[in-house]
Amino acid sequence: MVRNRIFYLVALVAALVFHSFYTMWFSWYFLVLLLCLPWFSLLFSLPAMLKLQVRTNAPKVLARRSNGKIQLCTASALPLPGCKMTLVLTNTLTGCQRRQKVCLTQARFFTASLPAEHCGNVLCTGEKIRVYDYLGLFCLPRPKVQLAQSTILPLPSSPAWKPALKLALPAVYRVRPGGGIAEAYELREYRPGDHLQMVHWKLSSKLDNLVVREAMEPVSDPVLLTFDLAGTPGEIDSVLDQLSWLSRWLLSKELPHSVLWIDGASAEVQTACVATEAEREALLRRLLCRTAAPSDRSIGGLAFRSSWRYHIIPRKEAQS
């Protein structure tokens, strides 16, 4: 835009000098035409400047360390004017941000690489958007706009030591909903409405009173995965990589489990139950699309009732 204005000023000065030495009608009309040209350009460019849209093409999901690209272009029903902006790529989980100046024209697509070094949710935002007229002398500012977002998924990797699955035997039983016959049962007196199949006839004949077997089922303590989502981007990557692997590993053993962590913003314990692969993926998206605020508390020191628990810590190489 500065270059176009300089060229226009040079042409205007040249027209003034030409008119001062050549006073015929041609020089006067040429000077008037040059003075009116920017306003004619603005008048014809304004509809296209108002309708101009910035379109993006970016992957919605991307694995960490992949070579993802975001492509920007302008679109309008009218001939396209020029457009400049600042492209801001922000990882909401790690807080890392990258800014890049972008110049879009009618025949040019702009391609930038997505920052996929760390897990998180990358927001692509356009700031300081300026749309120019056809001569590039005037600009129309546009408000800040979110162009796209991409989720950077972790790379599942096993912990430094593979945990052993030694689940504690359930010590608590409860009445099975719907009743029925079960190996574990509790004896009680007959109540109206009990099914005759539940009657313990041999014991009832000895006690001379109807006694029934009430089916019981074990109540298992949950399987837990706990972690602290804080630290450097490398430490967060290490924790999420291990979490993804451990959760998938437990599902392969047909073990539903609960995942617990402390939210840095509210300082409260957050819980997510994972019983299917879809729930595992939903949990990862939930973690990646948040802001990792530091917390003074660590969930590793909190006690929870469980039959099996694994607390995830960053790998040593990620801590260095």
pLDDT tens, residue by residue, 260-298: 998 877 778 899 999 999 999 999 999 998 776 666 778
Name the more confident of 226 and 37.
226
Among 52, 56, 107, residue whose Cα is nearest residue 83: 52
Q: How far apart are CA 71 and CA 55, in angstroms?
A: 8
pLDDT tens, residue by residue, 194-203: 777 777 777 7
**DSSP-derived pairing of the beta strands 223-227 and 308-312:** parallel
pLDDT at 249: 93
Sign of the C-alpha dihedral computed for residues 36, 39, 43 and 49 taken in this order: positive
Q: For residue 128, is it left (φ>0), alpha (ψ between -120 and 50) or beta?
A: left
pLDDT at 167: 58
pLDDT at 293: 64
Torsion angle defined by CA atoms of residues 182, 188, 190 and 196, in that order, rounded to the nearest 10 degrees: 20
pLDDT at 36: 85
Q: How confident is the model at residue 181 (pLDDT cuts 50, 70, 90)?
A: low
pLDDT at 210: 85
Mean pLDDT for 207-227 is 80
pLDDT at 268: 85
- Residue 86 scores a pLDDT above 90: yes
pLDDT tens, residue by residue, 237-251: 999 999 999 999 999
Q: For residue 65, is it left (φ>0), alpha (ψ between -120 and 50) or beta?
A: left
**What one-character-per-residue DSSP string does 267-310 give?**
--EEEEEE-SHHHHHHHHHHHHTS-----S--GGGS----SEEE
32-41, 170-179, 243-252: least confident range: 170-179
Please report which residue ranges of 144-275 form alpha helices under DSSP H: 201-207, 233-252
* Token pair listed for 286: 């939930």
pLDDT at 166: 67
pLDDT at 154: 94
pLDDT at 276: 93
pLDDT tens, residue by residue, 100-145: 999 887 657 888 899 999 999 999 999 999 998 888 888 889 999 9
Please report which residue ranges of 25-98 form alpha helices under DSSP H: 25-51
